[in-house]
Amino acid sequence: MIRTRSLAFAYPGAPALRFPDCDVPQGGTLLLQGRSGAGKSSWLALVAGLRAPADGELVVAQQDLRALSGVARDHWRGRSIGFLPQKLHLSEALNVVHNLSLAYFAAGLPASEAQVEQALAALGVADLAHRRPSQLSGGQAQRVALARAVLLAPKVILADEPTASLDDEAAGSALALLQQAAARCGATLVIATHDRRVREALPRAQSLPLHAPVAA
């Protein structure tokens, strides 16, 4: 679940930016909509605990993020948030298994190779376990990144422009994978997008339109 009230964020030396309130139940789907510069990435960073709010209430997966800081917030993020960034950030120095294993380090947990293999198998890429990212197609890399995001059964999955630069067929596949992964985890799914195809594919999802955030 995600609940925000009067959420605000301030870049250094700039006025606070305020975002609309929202309530997303556990297991629900939210479309965070707006063009580039509307504040989608800032909102995702706040919900993921990567940035601290300047003001307002922010509760994610039953956790008041204002009560966490430092290592405690990092470990909470690693255990509770699955993040699929627009740039997948797979390390070329590591094979697929080791890329996924980084999720355990972030969460402060011991690694489980069996769990990694299960996550890859669930997304149909178990045979890629020992390849490097440069040996993957774009679709394979996206599946691997999604396997990493859902490895620890997060309570919230955040996807940043997952259909950007994809054709209609690939975009549909990406959205289906996200929905299936969220359903397996019982996770709340947030998709940040300005792609109308996402709205058309998920007509029952909640929507949170963002325009240029209003200065406080």
Which two structure tokens, joined as six digits, stand for 85? 């960034």
C-alpha of 188 from chain center: 10
- Given a contact cutoff of 8 angstroms between Cβ atoms, the answer to whether 103 and 111 are in contact is no
CATH numbers and ranges of domains, the chain: 2-92+153-215 (3.40.50.300)
pTM of the model: 0.92
The one-letter code for the residue type at 53 is: P
What does the alpha-carbon distance between residue 139 and residue 173 come to, in Å, rounded to a whole number?
Answer: 9
196: CB partners within 8 A, 6+ apart: none
DSSP one-letter code for 67:
G
Residue 46: in which H helix or E strand, if any?
helix 40-47
SS3 string of 76-137?
HHHHHEEEECCCCCCCCCCCHHHHHHHHHHHHCCCCCHHHHHHHHHHCCCHHHCCCCHHHCC
Per-residue pLDDT tens digits of the chain, which is 216 residues long = 999 999 999 888 877 788 999 999 999 999 999 888 788 999 999 999 999 999 999 999 999 999 998 899 999 999 999 999 988 999 999 999 999 999 999 999 999 999 999 999 999 999 999 999 999 998 899 999 999 999 999 999 999 999 987 899 989 999 999 999 999 999 999 999 999 999 999 999 999 999 765 444
Q: Which two tokens stand for residue 176?
A: 């289906």
Which tokens sit at 26? 């556990």
Q: What is the distance between the alpha carbons of residues 175 and 163, in angstroms, rounded to a whole number?
A: 8
Whether residue 182 contacts residue 175, with contact meaning beta carbons closer than 8 Å, is answered with no
Amino acid at 59: V
Q: What is the pLDDT of residue 14?
A: 76
| 70: helix, strand or coil | helix
